[in-house]
């Protein structure tokens, strides 16, 4: 997908706009944004429309906006420039756009000022992510958003729009689920391609290339920057330059973007095709935590409780291995598991891989809930009570992060001094730097469905795929 008409029926978008309108007291205007420049203005990164706009129109259009206003939805688009036809070929006509998005009217975006000039305060909006759009949007609608990238405090009207979008987008409709399924399927294929392409002596870049090529061949991109690394303990690893050797585990966190909808899967596999006993032991532990967590995904479950349950499985396993000492429940209360399982269990998944993170914690944390300040829990992106139609990731991990574990560090010192942490036992697991196992899970009325269930995750099944072609 790169440009043009929605790939799903107009009725889906009409329904979403009506549902949004019903939750609002006035009109709302959402912007698609413009492509971001790479090294000079004409050399741009691949464009993707703002997620709120894409959700409400399905249209892959630059410099467009949609007005949601009762029955009078209007799609604003740039007038076709005759020069543009020469360089870019024909664009969809306004009739086509109107039919495909179901809006009442298509208008020239140059008329926005005329349509709303002076009355901007009455129009609810969400700041666009790109600076150019945000600037002109702020000027049009009388918001003080002049400084690019600066944090924005939403006013009352915009906050109500944000809440309405969160309510809608966090519970996926059938059209959304269809797109998420497509993203999941492509993501699974990419991971299989990565496992198959793995061979000792290559570099991380080779495996990443195979995974992203699998997506590109379907005309899809990634929904976030891929992590493909033998240093899984570097959680936001940058670059793919390391050689991959027989004793290494390779961690790959790669997800498709299917018309903007995200897949988000992590697998960790042995470069040699065979886990060492120590690698296998901790892999199975992370897997057990993931399975236990997925078992708890159902309507009414509080996500934070699932996170803590996964933490208890990790803690219990580390006690069994002699790495931690103590009662697993108590270890989790004290945050000892977070020495190794550092991040949150997962997040909402939708048009954004961390869905609606442009709205801060508004989507991930329900009213009256805020982030903990405890190390570990502070990184939990989601603490909702789950509802059917929500999609979440479940992604526990085990990492040995030098900056956290070095003797005397603020985090590990208390667990050293009271004997909780047994460094001799830990030393035996030196060949495990980082493991994460992540799947995409849809909450269903009866429990859940793992959208990425087709991808191997039992250790033996993973081993069978590595170096396969």
Q: Which residues bind Mn ion (CB under 5 A)?
A: 264, 393
Residue with tokens 């070095």: 406
* Part of the chain binding a copy of itself (CB under 8 A), chosen from 214-222, 298-306, 316-324, 387-395: 214-222
Looking at beta carbons only, is 393 or 452 nearer to Mn ion?
393
Backbone angles phi, psi at 440, to 5 degrees: -105, 125
Looking at beta carbons only, is 221 or 447 nearer to a copy of itself?
221
* Part of the chain binding a copy of itself (CB under 8 A), chosen from 113-121, 140-148, 318-326, 446-454: 140-148
Looking at beta carbons only, is 241 or 368 nearer to a copy of itself?
241
The entry of a copy of itself, Mn ion, none that residue 225 binds, CB within 5 to 8 Å by partner kind: a copy of itself
The entry of a copy of itself, Mn ion, none that residue 44 binds, CB within 5 to 8 Å by partner kind: a copy of itself
Backbone angles phi, psi at 241, to 5 degrees: -90, -10
Q: Work out which of 23, 171, 240, 425 binds a copy of itself, going by CB under 8 A.
A: 240
46 binds a copy of itself (CB under 8 A): yes
Cβ 207 to Mn ion shortest distance, Å = 19
Cβ 368 to a copy of itself shortest distance, Å = 24
Contact map string, positions 168 to 187, toward a copy of itself, x by CB under 8 A: --------------------
Which residues have a Cβ under 8 Å from the Cβ of 4 and sit 6 or more positions away?
59, 60, 61, 91, 92
Q: Work out which of 117, 225, 322, 468 binds a copy of itself, going by CB under 8 A.
A: 225
Cβ 277 to a copy of itself shortest distance, Å = 27
* Part of the chain binding a copy of itself (CB under 8 A), chosen from 103-111, 316-324, 353-361, 419-427: 353-361
Looking at beta carbons only, is 82 or 446 nearer to a copy of itself?
82
* Part of the chain binding a copy of itself (CB under 8 A), chosen from 24-32, 38-46, 99-107, 286-294: 38-46
Q: What string of DSSP letters covers 312-356?
A: HHHHHHHHHTTSB-S-HHHHHHHTGGGGTS-S-S--B-SSSSSTT
**Selection from 204, 22, 11 nearest residue 100 by Cα:** 11
Question: Binders of a copy of itself among 386-415, rule CB under 8 A?
Answer: 401, 403-404
* Part of the chain binding a copy of itself (CB under 8 A), chosen from 31-39, 71-79, 170-178, 422-430: 31-39
End-to-end CA distance of the chain: 29
Token pair, residue 151, equals 């944090």
In the chain, the largest separation of any two C-alpha atoms, in whole Å, equals 74
- Distance, CA of 38 to CA of 46 (rounded, Å): 10
Q: What is the torsional sign of CA 415, 418, 421, 424?
A: positive
- Distance, CA of 164 to CA of 141 (rounded, Å): 19
Contact 146, 164 (CB under 8 A): no
Cβ 232 to a copy of itself shortest distance, Å = 11
Looking at beta carbons only, is 220 or 459 nearer to a copy of itself?
220
Length of the chain: 469
Residue with tokens 């170096």: 467
Helix axis angle, 204-217 to 174-197, nearest 10°: 140
Our measurement of the distance from residue 363's CA atom to the centroid of its chain's CA atoms, rounded to an integer in Å, reads: 13
The entry of Mn ion, a copy of itself, none that residue 264 binds, CB within 5 to 8 Å by partner kind: Mn ion
Cβ 438 to Mn ion shortest distance, Å = 5
Token pair, residue 33, equals 């944004």
Cβ 186 to a copy of itself shortest distance, Å = 12
Looking at beta carbons only, is 204 or 463 nearer to a copy of itself?
204
Contact 405, 238 (CB under 8 A): no
């Amino acid at each position: 997908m790169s440009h043009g008409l929605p790939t799903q029926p107009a009725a889906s978008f009409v329904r979403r706009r009506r549902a949004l309108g019903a939750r609002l007291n006035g009109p709302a205007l959402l912007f698609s944004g413009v492509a971001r420049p790479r090294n000079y203005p004409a050399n741009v990164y691949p464009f993707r429309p703002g997620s709120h706009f894409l959700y409400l129109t399905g249209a892959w259009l630059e410099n467009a906006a949609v007005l949601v206003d009762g029955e009078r939805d209007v799609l604003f688009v740039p007038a076709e420039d005759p020069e543009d036809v020469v360089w870019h070929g024909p664009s969809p006509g306004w009739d086509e756009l109107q039919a495909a998005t179901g809006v009442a009217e298509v208008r020239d975006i140059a008329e926005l000022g005329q349509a709303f000039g002076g009355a901007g305060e009455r129009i609810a909006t969400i700041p666009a992510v790109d600076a150019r759009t945000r600037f002109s949007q702020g000027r049009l609608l009388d918001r003080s958003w002049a400084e690019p990238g600066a944090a924005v405090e939403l006013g009352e009207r915009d906050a109500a729009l944000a809440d309405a979008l969160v309510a809608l987008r966090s519970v996926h409709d059938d059209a959304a689920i269809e797109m998420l399924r497509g993203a999941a399927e492509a993501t699974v294929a990419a991971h299989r391609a990565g496992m198959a392409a793995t061979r000792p002596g290559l570099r991380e870049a080779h495996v990443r290339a195979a995974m992203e090529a699998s997506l590109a061949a379907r005309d899809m991109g990634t929904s976030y920057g891929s992590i493909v690394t033998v240093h899984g303990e570097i959680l936001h690893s940058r670059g793919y330059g390391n050689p991959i050797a027989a004793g290494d585990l390779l961690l790959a966190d790669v997800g498709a973007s299917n018309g903007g909808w995200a897949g988000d899967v992590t697998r960790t596999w042995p470069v040699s095709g065979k886990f060492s006993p120590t690698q296998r032991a901790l892999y199975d532990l992370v897997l057990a935590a993931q399975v236990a967590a997925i078992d708890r995904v159902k309507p009414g479950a509080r996500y934070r409780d699932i996170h803590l349950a996964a933490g208890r499985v990790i803690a219990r396993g580390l006690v069994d291995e002699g790495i931690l000492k103590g009662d697993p429940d108590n270890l989790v209360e004290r945050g000892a598991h977070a020495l190794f399982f550092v991040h949150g269990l997962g997040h909402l998944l939708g048009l954004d891989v961390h869905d609606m993170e442009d709205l801060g914690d508004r989507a991930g944390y329900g009213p009256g809930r805020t982030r903990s300040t405890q190390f570990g829990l502070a990184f939990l992106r989601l603490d909702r009570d789950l509802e059917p139609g929500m999609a979440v990731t479940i992604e526990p991990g085990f990492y040995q992060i030098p900056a956290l574990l070095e003797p005397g560090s603020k985090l590990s010192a208390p667990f050293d001094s009271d004997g909780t942490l047994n460094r001799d036992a830990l030393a035996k697991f030196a060949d495990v730097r980082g493991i994460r196992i992540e799947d995409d899970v849809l909450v269903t009325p009866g429990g859940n469905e793992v959208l990425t269930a087709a991808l191997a995750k039992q250790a033996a099944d993973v081993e069978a795929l590595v170096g396969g072609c």
